[in-house]
Amino acid sequence: MGTLKQGFDLYQSIDYPLHKAIFMMFLISEVHPFADGNGRVGRIMMNAELVSKSEQRIIIPTIYRDNYLSALRALSHNAISDPVIKVLDFAQRYTLRIHYDDFNTAGLDLERTHAFMDSKEAEEEGLRLILP
């Protein structure tokens, strides 16, 4: 539990909301305090941090999942943080542009931007997640 306490102390020293939220998500996923669901809990904690600072929450569309996981691996295995910051910054900008106030409009936005595509199928077809 000492690692979690040290991580939380470091978390409290971070000022920028997106970086603080990313750190919280990474801390939960890296320390792995639960038998199951650490990634989900980490993303919930990340979004709770963002919402508490009146920032846009982040969703990870299906097509973007491999980008997200690769960026997390770069940080976890090689201590390289730039990829995860860039991936989550883009995901936050993407999430901001979806019109969630109307279910049908949101569905169309998500479909048009390839959000629901399997990342491997999208790669084969040369498609990427695009901003609405």
What digits encode the pLDDT tens for the residues 104-125? 999 999 999 999 999 999 999 9
Domain boundaries, the chain: 1-57, 60-132
pLDDT digits (tens, 9 = 90+) for 24-77: 898 888 888 888 888 899 999 999 999 999 999 999 999 999 999 999 999 999
Residue 8, pLDDT score? 76
In terms of DSSP H, where are the helices of the chain? 2-12, 17-31, 38-52, 65-78, 82-97, 103-112, 119-125
Of the candidates 67, 66, 50, which has an alpha carbon nearest to the alpha carbon of residue 58?
A: 50
pLDDT attached to residue 27: 86
